[in-house]
Chain A
Amino acid sequence: MTPEPIPVQSADLWSQLFVFVLATFIGLGVIRRVSRLLHTPLMSITNAISAIAVVGSIIVTGADYPPRIRLLGGIALFASMTNIVSGFLITDRMLKMFKTDRKPGAGGPA
């Protein structure tokens, strides 16, 4: 069996690094402006977002691979899904608690 070689083109490599660097800068810019009040919810929502590893896990679990490989994918999928579900739910639960004064209009946000 001699499958056709599929080399990663160097252009892909560079565009991946490009995307990584730009995304990091966007991340730094956006996160810097997040209210300090919300740092705990921020951490839980980024937990959920980084569980985007779910994308890789689904492919590894569902593709036509040997069962041993797919089992690793399945465990990874379970771990990612747990993070997605608990991350978004707890973020929303915490954010619901942040209220201004019961009398509206009393002072601006600190």
Chain B
Amino acid sequence: MSPGIVQLAYIVATALFIFALHWMNAPATARRGVAAGVAAMGIAVAVTWAQPEVIHHGWIVLAIAAGFLVGVPLARVPLTAVPQRTALSHAFGGLAAGLVGTAKYYLWLSEGPENLTAFRMVAIIAEIILGYLTFTGSLLAAGKLQEVKWIPQRPVTYPLQNITNLGLFLVAVVLGVALVLHPTADWAPKIFPVIAGLALLFGVLLIIPIGGADMPTVIAILNSYAGLSAVAMGFVLDNKLLITAGALDGSSGLILAIIMCNAMNRSFANVLFGAFGQVQQAKAGGEQKLYKSETIEGAGQVLEQSSLVVIIPGYGMAVAQAQHKVRELYDLLKKRGVTVKFAIHPVAGRMPGHMNVLLAEADIPYTDLVEMDEINPDMPQVDVALVVGANDVVNPAARTDKTSPIYGMPIIAADRARTVFAIKRSKNPGFAGIDNELYFSDKTWMLFGDAKSVIGELVKQMGGTSGTH
């Protein structure tokens, strides 16, 4: 296959990738985007495999088969596990970049040191640092999201944490610069693994101080890193398809991370180095405030008599797998002429868009999923705001309490609705460890219990046939 045809195929693949992302702008065309992406990837793989320099095929077939073997089950995880699957795939992406960078360095070192130009060395160092830190960082993030037993869920902090981390990173960069200047020195092959090791360690240190509430931002940042490591690989291999596809991924992660940060009124630096939710625990438990509980019967009656109900889902809904019960409640209310909308906060859940996917899975039309900014002006007209496992995203302290760590964060104005029902598993504060004033408000009634069973009982109470799932 002539180089011209290869380049032409890569250009077609690039265009298809751009279309794939373009079609994601609306649910109606989004599946076409997947088809375009698959086509582009197919072209890229076929053309590359057909290159004359590829002469051994056994391992390629083996690796591709293994990829299918692992990839297919990974695509069938329950949708509540999508955040950890995503983190895991960032880890795989980082690993691939790190390994190819490592392979290329040692290859050129032994078989063509003149290839190790300063520019290529910069690209290789960037590739392995980004690749390996994304690998371990994402693995740890996946472990935290999966709630693996020996991985601490709460942020882990220790004295001088940020200085230690920064110092480690600087050491890696300094060693990298030394390698760029003397890529073929006697000590170079020994320094290379040290840099890789530091990057692996740095990935872990970067993620251990991160708490669950910050996961949406962190996943987006890791997404960006995975893309950038592919870009670096493109620089190393002089392959423009890698550069463009990696850049698309990198910018996507960047935009998502910015959206997440804005939705929490925090900066990147604060998310990465702030160890959110660590300090708060000690403060809680001063004065005893009182919750008002409501019975299922009472709540059912109020809901039936409403004309506009807004359901505000949070991570608790995902944990309790309550989305299907929520859908039964939605159907029941609609049947009685009640308008039901869902208010979606950008950081509800553990990754961007998490709630939308869960509700779509439960067959709730996406036309009833409303963004925070659109629903907030209407909240005073809402008869009942039903909070299902959300906490910080409805906490009015974000508006009123300057000392609160979430002060300034945009929230869904549940407190402006006429009545609030909040379903909550226990009387403990939420993930960020912050007391929620909404629960003590005059118009708030608590429904304590597991979200799934509470809503199941509500459905039963209101005369629906609550089928078993």
Contact = CB atoms under 8 A, between A and B. Distances in A.
Interface string B56-76: 110110111011101110111
Contact of A49 (B30, B72, B249): B249
Interface string B411-439: 00000000000000000000000000000
B233 A31 contact: no
Contact of A47 (B48, B86, B346): B86
Contacts of B245: 49-50, 52
A33 B339 CA distance: 29
Contacts of A86: 70-72, 74-75, 85, 89
Interface in B7-31: 14, 17-18, 20-22, 24-28, 30-31
Nearest to B346: A36
Contact of B64 (A47, A49, A77): A77
A33 B82 CA distance: 23
Contacts of B114: 3, 5-7
B324 to A, nearest CB: 12
A100 B366 contact: yes
A19 B59 contact: no
B55 A95 contact: no
B24 A78 contact: no
Contacts of B367: 100-101, 106-110
Contact of B256 (A39, A55, A109): A39
A54 B17 contact: no
A43 to B, nearest CB: 6
B368 A110 contact: yes
Interface string A48-79: 11111111111111111110111111111111
Interface in A9-45: 12-13, 16, 19-20, 23-24, 26-28, 30-45
A81 B352 CA distance: 24
Contact of B95 (A36, A79, A99): A79
Contacts of A88: 34, 37-38, 41
Nearest to A99: B365
A41 B357 contact: yes
Nearest to A60: B103
B48 A58 contact: yes
B235 interface: yes
Given A8-B238, A31-B21, A64-B55, A75 B95 contact: yes
Contacts of A8: 115, 117, 119-120, 238
Nearest to B216: A39
B137 interface: no
A16 B85 contact: no
A60 B104 contact: yes
B353 A41 contact: yes
A42 B252 CA distance: 8
What 10 pairs between A and B have smallest CB-CB spacing? Answer: A81-B67, A85-B71, A39-B353, A27-B251, A89-B75, A62-B54, A50-B249, A23-B247, A39-B352, A40-B353
Interface of A: 3, 5-8, 12-13, 16, 19-20, 23-24, 26-28, 30-66, 68-102, 106-110
17 contacts: A5-B114, A8-B117, A16-B234, A20-B235, A39-B256, A46-B227, A46-B252, A47-B89, A53-B97, A53-B242, A57-B96, A63-B56, A69-B106, A70-B103, A75-B96, A85-B72, A101-B368
Interface of B: 14, 17-18, 20-22, 24-28, 30-31, 33-34, 37-38, 40-41, 44-45, 48-49, 51, 53-57, 59-60, 62-64, 66-68, 70-72, 74-77, 79, 82, 85-86, 89-90, 92-93, 95-97, 99-100, 102-104, 106-107, 110-112, 114-115, 117, 119-120, 219-220, 223, 226-227, 230-231, 233-256, 259, 344, 346, 351-354, 356-357, 360-361, 363, 365-371, 374
